[in-house]
Structure 1
Amino acid sequence: MYTEFFGLSAKPFDLLPNPKFLYLSKGHRKALSYLQYGVQENAGFTLLTGEVGSGKTTLLRDIINKISADVTLSMIFNTRVDGHQLVAMINTDFGLQTEGKDKVQLITELNDFLLEECTSNRQPIIIIDEAQNLSEEGLEEIRLLSNLEADNFKMVQIILVGQPELKQIIAKPSLRQLRQRISISCHLNPLNREETEEYIYHRLATVGSRDCVTFLDGVFDAIFRFSGGVPRLINLICDFLLLSAFVEESREIDMDLVQDALNELSFDDPVSQGSVFESPGRDHQPMNSPIDLDGRLARIEENYAKLNANRSEKEAILERLSSQGSILEYLINQQQNQFSQFDGQLKKISAQIDRLRQTLLVDSKRSSVEESILHRSKQD
């Protein structure tokens, strides 16, 4: 909607985890290096954690896009399943038949498949996103899968990805064997104030120019305070700010636009809203606590979805009005054409009447002259 106004090829702050927009902060660069090392060295178990919206899935997609042709991948997103269902989903992803088979059969066939892949010099990788939703039974099943190994190498590499509570779950005594198998572990922290500014400019430059819009004093500080440095929240507010600037036909984003945007996006929390406009120092940390960030993000995304729905509804109404206006304009033009044709006909008829009137007048004068001559002749 606003991309043409700002000269952008696409929306820079879309919520989809698109690796094209991957911004490598210090923390993201470290996590990406760890993941790449784990894949290249077939490290067995790798753990990646981070707050909701911190960019974990974007990192995963970047890794997947760079995976070599000799890798066989299974990627699981739905983790609210039991152990049997989890193994079935992994087998299905690897192209194995699962219908009507119990867990023992599934694991046996998975083991045979992994052994065959390894003997064919292919590297099987299982990526499980949102792993914090797995039950202890599911996590234990994952540990047992990691036991599938040949004499001198692991037959499968497993990457667990989840929110910070995943570490707390794995720390339970009942899962110590799983914890002991994790060879690489990294955590994604939110962006700091400087990284937040660079992140915004990076996404603008990816689809156009970082100078397509001007952010006035205090705007980046407010965005950082509101988002806590979480990329998904930064995307939410920046998308709304660009839309607001487009509506105002302005290429500048000031604090008034930020205030309006935050009032629309935020929920009823005077303390939070008040803190957004305080000026943080260079090393100031965001005020959002990890405990309530998930809930806050969910509420803000809900408001954002409602605003997008309202926007879509208004655009549909405008489109219908525009269509109706086009039809009305067509009818008016048709009427004008008909009136023009009728007016032309009237002018022709009027001209014919004038010629007829002139002819009659001439004939009348001629008759009068002839009668006068005839009358004189009779007198003579």
Structure 2
Amino acid sequence: MTTGPVPNQPRAEGSAATVGDVAALAGVSRATVSYTYTQPNRVSPDLRRRVLAAADELGYVGNDAARRLRVGHSLALGLLISSMSNPVYAELAAGAEAEAAAHGRFILVANSDEDPARERAYLNFFESQQVSGILAAPVGDVPPELLGLRSRGTPFVLVGVAPGPHSYPAISGDNERGGHLAAAHLLAQGRRRLIFVGGAHPHVDLRLAGVKRAIAEAAEPASLEIIRIQVQTAKVGEAVARTLLRRSAATFPDGIVAGNDLLALGLLHGLIVGGIRVPEDLSLVGYDDIEFADFAIVPLTTIRHPSAALGASAVRILLGIEREEDTKGRFEPELVIRSSSLPTPPPSVHP
């Protein structure tokens, strides 16, 4: 059994070195060579040094992983998002890609589609590709696989809210402030029977906390009902609207804050089809200010976070070139007022 490097075997002139050539020279199996480039955590430091030394001697450049290891880093950054169906993530990716390109880097985008198992698979893929860092907007809390990657030398920036004490960088919009703005606006329009519709996500929890704070601070009493859903899509919003339409006038809300704009647009469609006048009978506020919000049949009032700026900021933090605004960790939300929340004023009476 071979236990150490063996003399270099001659190859045909002009032929490229193969995995087998590297394995023979390093005195290891072909699988060890493969793991060195694709799953380096499975190879001991000593074996890895032997494989890389043999690859250098033979000029082995058979795959991109080998070339990246020779220069010590990849030009690629990984971007993990929870749902590509939400346009806010497309804006986030656009901002990240533009900032990365300005520094000669590239973005690999992975969509977990709200599936934690798929999320874990993508994180393993990023590690196999030796990305130099990861921007993560996960399904829920920070997955342990991401923390494991960091412990093995791959940094990440959380694009979201970090749970509890943490030592990694995190950046997000101020979701609690955004929820407060949304509810305070509805209360200012005289709405008193509010509903919050949202999914189970740390960002949405903070938006709900802001809504509760606005109601607690209101000068006049107001009620709040909370409707929790699994996913925040337009289809789910429309389904929630159908359940609301079965209520009596006494239990029907006069204001709704939705966890995101897709959900709000589904609610808007379902309510209008059901004969509810928006905003005369009910005021509606979404969240994110996606492009479609301004083009709805009744333009949607919403809370805007600078998603593209968040993506760009996360890239700068990851590359260690952050600006002063990047170090604050929170981006201020903005209330964008459109027709869906403003009751139509009564017609003027002329003498």
Tell me if both proteins adopt one fold, taking TM over 0.5 as the criterion. no
Which of the two has greater helix per residue?
1
Please, what TM-score do these two structures have when normalized by structure 2? Answer: 0.30
Which of the two has greater strand per residue?
2
- Per chain length, whose mean CA-contact separation is higher, i.e. which structure has more relative contact order (CA < 8 Å, sep 6+)? 1
